Amino acid sequence: MPGQRVLCVAEKPAIARAVAQHLSGGSFQTIPIRGNQYVKNYVFDFNFGGPWGTCSVTMTSVIGHLTGLDFERQYKTWLSCPPAALFEAPVHESVAEDKVAIAKNIQEQARRCKALFIWTDCDREGEHIGTEIRKQAKEGNARILVKRARFSNTEKAHVLHAARTLIELDDLQANAVAARIELDLRIGAAFTRLQTLQLKPLSAALQDTIISYGSCQFPTLGFVVDRYLRVQNFKPETFWGIKVMHSRDDIKVNFLWKRVHLFDRAAVTVMLERCLLAKKAKVTKVSQKPTSKWRPLPLTTVDLQMMGSRYLRMDSQTIMKVAEGLYTKGFISYPRTETDQFDKGIDLKKLVEKQIPDGNWGQYARHLLDGGFKTPRAGRHNDQAHPPIHPICWVAPTALSVDEKKVYEFVVRRFLACCSEDAKGQSTEIEIQYGDEFFHAKGLLVLERNYLDVYVYDKWESSQQLPNFQMGELFEPTEAKIFDGKTTPPNYLTEPELIGLMDANGIGTDATMAEHIAKIKERQYVAVHSRGSGRNAVKELIPTRLGIALVEGYDDVFAGMPDSPSLSKPFLRKEMELRMREICAGMRTRQQVVQESLDMYREVFVHTQRRINKLKDACRKYLVDQAAS
Amino acid sequence: MTTPQSQIATHLQTTKSLAVSPTWLNSFLSSSTALQRNIPLSALTQTALFRILASDFRDSLTTNNPSSLLPIDIFDPTVQERRLPGPIPVQVLDIEDIGTSLWSQVEAIERVERGEAIRGREIVRTVNVGGEEGEEGAAGAGETGGAGASNGPHRLILQDAAGTRAVGIELVRVDGVAVNKLPIGAKMVLRNAMVARGMVLLTPECVTVLGGKIEGMDLAWKEGRKARLLERISGTGEGQM
């Protein structure tokens, strides 16, 4: 006989359905809600154990954030106020128009319930969405009790466990998100209005565009432009080196110069002459030692995006969408994670076992269980919220779309590789001294492929085998000569590299990087060009004229300032990101951080206004003068 | 009876291989009020050394002993090799990193100009995507840090007390020889150095870095460095034979 009524709310309809499925054991009633075709209420009984016991449950969901932050009406139009006023203008939070029905559903359900259990994703955004849900529920029923389920995948046992070990909502994380939302709104709107109003009149091409500013977008654009200019400005130079070749046992061994190459021809000529004068080379090192190629670390979001866009030929945003779909369907664990170490408690062998039915890697999985299994390497990151991305169950390929299949396969192969032995080989290195110079030759013999058998994305192959050389032996090399070459420019930035740069420079979170990249494409600050063709084609990011103009313009605006805090550089955003973490850690309050960050950006804003002509000049240069020529 | 002059001169000759010019020494001593006040000779010698290292060798050293000078025809490229017993005191007129392209040196200077060498302002510009992580012994041939020391080997222009110049190539890494570390006007002593095709082959065995610098020259060299690099880059573009 069910006792209390409980309301459960997930972040997305699919999660609500998956959780309802597991908690109810498959028998639940589905009730549509008025005003929204996607959100449903699922009604069933479930025993939460402990003080709750068997409850009558209504499981429903939101669709992402319920509320939005905006300026009050008198500040909303473009010319309503000077853009600088947006740093202080009053803002208010309200339920987004298209979410009203969902909010109402929560209020109504809460009225009849004793408790609210929040099932949003366990990350910062999820925590904030949780507080939005709580607010609506309290409006319906001020005395409702609130708990939160902690889960990182939708596998049945995991979900049941989460339901029986409820925790509290983390308001610190929610506050960090609230701070970020307010800062993004104010800073974004102020700069967007300023630059759009100022730059629009300069060119007909800008007539109908909004030149948006975002504190992540701009540094992201900055990386693309920086690389583009490095390629454009590059000056090739000639270098010279010494090549030594020796024939032995019908093998031509090429020895590489320790100095690789130098940029002074006369010096290299003298060095070569001294080699030749010495006549004989002496073997100074012969080493043969076991070597290994390490299996990969457990998979994080950044790695999934980087490797995915490199090996699966999909852009990072698509990969994340597909991965989220796989998570929602319960096939893989939560795909937004910074953790690259598996918790000791997780039963990895059981997860490996689930892959046995597969036609491609099933046999490999069996081999792991038959003794090949190795505990995965542990990386240095742990976000304390989610495990590394791993498969939850086996899925028949026929149940997946083409893209899903690719991402799922990558996640599984990566996981199996993590649980495998490193690849083993034998490396041979021979070093010789010839005159005053040192040269070396290396050989590799792969002995055991191990993880490489399943992780088809890594390459490690045996090289040419070296003939025998004795330590201390003297010999006259068959040939020694000078070679020359030219330095080449770096390549234009690719998406995986950009993600790596954003990560290394602290721009965005692993969860939002793909969105920022998509944003600068959508704004037409960068375009995607293909280099090469067919399977070897590489997609490169090239800034548009507007993109270059904005970065160069802002760099000029800040040129000569101490610390030159240009908006195209990552520092300002990085500092903001650090402060978000401080809120999460309870070291600072939301108000403190918002005030400090606004002060920092306000100063930058005032300076930009004062030197706006620099920005205009750059736009004229690229959009008017160059467009005409 | 030994005079302070001869004592200082002998000391600098035996410990540093520096043959101080009597004229220079006299003017040093007469300008130094220290003598009247009975400052210990050792302190006075230290001051003299310090001044010599900051001076131009052409003013402060004698040119009497040919074995402490570079041969006049040292640049002669037809001489395959010859050894200079020395010791020969020389000063550095120019230093460049021939292991690094001019353009990447320019880029490094620009990073410093943009303030990216300051701690907390560094920008990571290259990442290794799905690279060779985990392969033992994979050489990390990454970029060198913005303001860090140069890679080398280095090519130096050296000058002796008589004003003769020679090119020196850092054949084996010599401590203290690096762009931004070895100032212009820094002093060194060459002992038993090999010269091949007109280039002095510098190794730790034959080079003793004494330190010091010529302030004005060093400043001018630093200020003009980027412009010189850029000029040479545009030069090699067309000027190649």
Give A350-385 pLDDT, tens digit per residue. Answer: 999 999 999 999 999 999 999 999 999 998 888 777
pLDDT digits (tens, 9 = 90+) for A131-149: 999 999 999 999 999 999 9
CA distance B28 to A589: 66
How many contacts does A have with B, using Cβ atoms within 8 A?
107
Give residue B25's pLDDT. 85
Angle at A461 between CA A459 and CA A462, to 5 degrees: 170
pLDDT digits (tens, 9 = 90+) for A534-547: 666 788 999 999 99
Are A61 and A104 within one domain? yes
Give residue A464's pLDDT. 81
Are A82 and A125 within one domain? yes
CA-based nearest residue to A340, from A368, A315, A376: A376
User: Hey, which residues does A42 pair with through a beta bridge?
Assistant: A30, A59
Grouping H, G, I as helix, E, B as strand and the rest as coil, residue A562 is coil
Q: Which residues of B touch A226 (CB under 8 A)?
A: 123, 125
Are A27 and A111 within one domain? yes
- Nearest-by-Cβ selection for A497 from B98, B101, B129: B129
Angle at A599 between CA A593 and CA A605, to 5 degrees: 130
Q: Could A237 and B233 be called an inter-chain contact, meaning their C-beta atoms sit closer than 8 Å?
A: yes
Interface test with B, best of A261, A274, A502 (most B CBs within 10 A): A274
pTM metric for this prediction: 0.82
pLDDT at residue B203 tops 70 = yes
CA distance A308 to chain B (A): 10
Are A534 and A476 within one domain? no
Task: Return the sign of the alpha-carbon dihedral for residues A29, A34, A40, A41.
Answer: negative
**CATH architecture of the domain formed by B66-99+149-239:** Beta Barrel (2.40)
Taking each helix axis from N to C terminus, what angle separates A316-328 and A13-24, rounded to the nearest 10 degrees?
A: 20
Boundary-marking domain end, from A169, A185, A216 = A169
Q: Please, are residues B234 and B204 in contact by the beta-carbon 8 Å criterion?
A: no
- Nearest-by-Cβ selection for B98 from A263, A296, A500: A263
Are A406 and A517 within one domain? no
pLDDT at residue A292 tops 80 = yes
Token pair of A537 as six digits: 């084609």
Give residue A541's pLDDT. 92
Domain presence at residue A303: no
CA distance A131 to chain B (A): 35
Q: Could B121 and A436 be called an inter-chain contact, meaning their C-beta atoms sit closer than 8 Å?
A: no
pLDDT digits (tens, 9 = 90+) for B1-43: 578 788 888 888 888 888 888 888 888 887 766 555 677 788 8
Mean pLDDT, chain A, rounded, equals 90
Interface test with A, best of B122, B129, B241 (most A CBs within 10 A): B129
Q: Please, are residues B48 and B168 in contact by the beta-carbon 8 Å criterion?
A: no
Are A497 and A480 within one domain? no
Q: Which residues of B touch A504 (CB under 8 A)?
A: 124, 127
Q: Please, are residues B87 and B68 in contact by the beta-carbon 8 Å criterion?
A: yes
CA distance A425 to A428: 10
Nearest CA in chain B to A458: B130
Angle at B17 between CA B12 and CA B20, to 5 degrees: 55
Give residue A103's pLDDT. 94
Determine contact: B78 vs chain A, CB below 8 A. Answer: no
Give residue A410's pLDDT. 95
Q: Which residues numbered 94-113 in B keep a CB inside 8 Å of some CB on A?
A: 98-103, 107
Give residue A2's pLDDT. 61
Q: Which residues numbered 17-56 in B keep a CB inside 8 Å of some CB on A?
A: none
A334 flagged as catalytic? yes
Are A555 and A427 within one domain? no
Task: Return the sign of the alpha-carbon dihedral for residues A410, A415, A421, A427.
Answer: positive
User: What ipTM does this complex have?
Assistant: 0.87
Q: Where are the beta strands (DSSP E) in chain B?
A: 82-84, 88-97, 154-159, 165-170, 187-190, 193-196, 199-202, 207-211
Boundary-marking domain end, from A398, A418, A438 = A418
What domain range is A594 assigned to?
A: 175-233+492-628
CA distance B149 to chain A (A): 17
Are A333 and A375 within one domain? yes
pLDDT digits (tens, 9 = 90+) for A269-291: 999 999 999 999 999 999 999 99
- Nearest-by-Cβ selection for B115 from A237, A460, A563: A563
Q: For B188, phi and psi rounded to 5 degrees?
A: -145, 165
Question: A433: number of CA atoms within 13 Å, CB side?
Answer: 9
Are A69 and A104 within one domain? yes
Interface test with A, best of B114, B124, B241 (most A CBs within 10 A): B124
Give residue A238's pLDDT. 93
pLDDT digits (tens, 9 = 90+) for B130-171: 544 444 333 333 333 334 567 889 999 999 999 999 999 999
Domain presence at residue A68: yes
Are A348 and A228 within one domain? no
Q: Which residues of A touch B103 (CB under 8 A)?
A: 234-235, 237, 487
- Nearest-by-Cβ selection for B236 from A237, A427, A571: A237
Q: Could B118 and A563 be called an inter-chain contact, meaning their C-beta atoms sit closer than 8 Å?
A: yes
Which amino acid is present at A85?
A
Token pair of A82 as six digits: 């000077």
CATH of the domain at A85: 3.40.50.140
3-class SS letters over A530-545: EECCHHHCEEEEEECH
Q: Predicted confidence band at A55 (pLDDT cuts at 50, 70, 90)?
A: very high
Q: Please, are residues A372 and A420 in contact by the beta-carbon 8 Å criterion?
A: yes
Report the share of chain A in percent with pLDDT over 70: 98
Q: Please, are residues B207 and B158 in contact by the beta-carbon 8 Å criterion?
A: no
Q: Please, are residues A346 and A157 in contact by the beta-carbon 8 Å criterion?
A: no
CA distance B163 to chain A (A): 23
Domain presence at residue A98: yes
pLDDT digits (tens, 9 = 90+) for A410-461: 999 999 999 999 999 999 999 999 999 999 999 999 999 999 999 998 889 8
Q: Comparing A155-159, B22-26, B102-106, B112-116, which segment has the lowest mean pLDDT?
A: B112-116
Q: Could A292 and B103 be called an inter-chain contact, meaning their C-beta atoms sit closer than 8 Å?
A: no
Catalytic residue among A228, A334, A408, A455: A334
Domain boundaries defined on chain B:
4-53, 66-99+149-239
Report the share of chain A in percent with pLDDT over 90: 59
Neighbours of B198 (CB within 10 A): 17
Are A498 and A476 within one domain? no
Q: Could B121 and A262 be called an inter-chain contact, meaning their C-beta atoms sit closer than 8 Å?
A: no
Give residue B37's pLDDT. 65
CATH of the domain at A359: 1.10.290.10
Domain presence at residue A582: yes
Give the total number of structural domains in chain A.
Answer: 4
Q: Could A270 and B102 be called an inter-chain contact, meaning their C-beta atoms sit closer than 8 Å?
A: no
CA distance B96 to B208: 19
Q: Could A294 and B133 be called an inter-chain contact, meaning their C-beta atoms sit closer than 8 Å?
A: yes
Are A471 and A522 within one domain? no
Determine contact: A424 vs chain B, CB below 8 A. Answer: no
- Nearest-by-Cβ selection for A293 from B100, B103, B135: B135
Ordered alpha helix ranges (H), A526-611: 545-558, 571-584, 590-610
pLDDT at residue A68 tops 80 = yes
Domain presence at residue A309: no
Q: Which residues of A touch B79 (CB under 8 A)?
A: none
Give residue A316's pLDDT. 85
